[in-house]
A and B are shown apart, each in its own frame.
Chain A
Amino acid sequence: MNINGVAIDDTFAEAFGMRATRILITALDLKWAYHAARAATGFATSVIGCGCEAGIERELSPDETPDGRPGLAVLLFAVSDKELAKQVERRVGQCVLTAPTSAAFSGIAGEPVNMGKNLRFFGDGYQNSKLIGGRRYWRIPVMDGEFLCEETTGMVRAVGGGNFLVFAHGQVEALAACEAAITAMSKVPGVIMPFPGGVVRSGSKVGSKYKTLTASTNDAFCPTLRGAVKSELSPDESAVLEIVIDGLTETDVRTAMRAGIAAVCQAGSSGGVLRISAGNYGGKLGKFHFKLHDLLK
Chain B
Amino acid sequence: MSALTFTLRAVPPYCVDVSPLIPDRLAGLSKAAIEKIAIGNHGLRVDDLFAVRGEDTRQLIIRDSSDRLNRIGTGMTQGTVLVEGDCGAYTGLGMRGGRIVVTGNAGPLAGSGMTAGGIEIRGNAGDFLGGALAGDKQGMRGGNIVVHGNAGDRTADRMRRGLILIGGDAGAYCGSHMLAGTVLVSGHVGTMPGFALKRGTVLLARQPRELPATFQESGEHALLFLTLLENELRRESERFGRFLPLGNRVRRYCGDLANGATGEILVFV
Contact = CB atoms under 8 A, between A and B. Distances in A.
A259 to B, nearest CB: 34
A40 B225 CA distance: 22
A21 B152 CA distance: 46
Interface stretch (B80-88, B98-106, B227-235): B227-235
B231 A68 contact: yes
21 contacts: A66-B228, A67-B224, A126-B262, A128-B199, A128-B201, A130-B182, A130-B201, A130-B229, A131-B161, A132-B229, A133-B228, A133-B235, A137-B225, A139-B225, A145-B221, A145-B222, A146-B221, A146-B223, A146-B225, A148-B225, A148-B228
A255 interface: no
Contact of B224 (A125, A129, A133, A146): A146
B204 interface: no
Interface residues of B, number: 20
Contacts of B76: none
A132 B161 contact: no
Interface of A: 66-68, 103, 125-126, 128-133, 137, 139, 145-146, 148
Contacts of B180: 128-129
Contacts of A66: 228, 231
B228 A67 contact: yes
B221 A133 contact: no
Given A67-B224, A139-B225, A132 B262 contact: no
Contacts, number: 45
Contacts of A139: 223, 225
Contacts of A126: 261-262
Nearest to B221: A145
Given A131-B161, A132-B229, A133-B232, 16 more contacts: A66-B231, A67-B224, A67-B227, A103-B224, A125-B262, A128-B201, A128-B264, A130-B201, A130-B225, A130-B228, A130-B229, A132-B228, A133-B235, A137-B228, A146-B225, A148-B225
B225 A68 contact: no
Contacts of B201: 128, 130
Nearest to A138: B225
Contact of A148 (B224, B232, B264): B224
Contact of A132 (B221, B232, B264): B232
A145 B250 CA distance: 12
Contacts of B221: 145-146
Contacts of A146: 221, 223-225
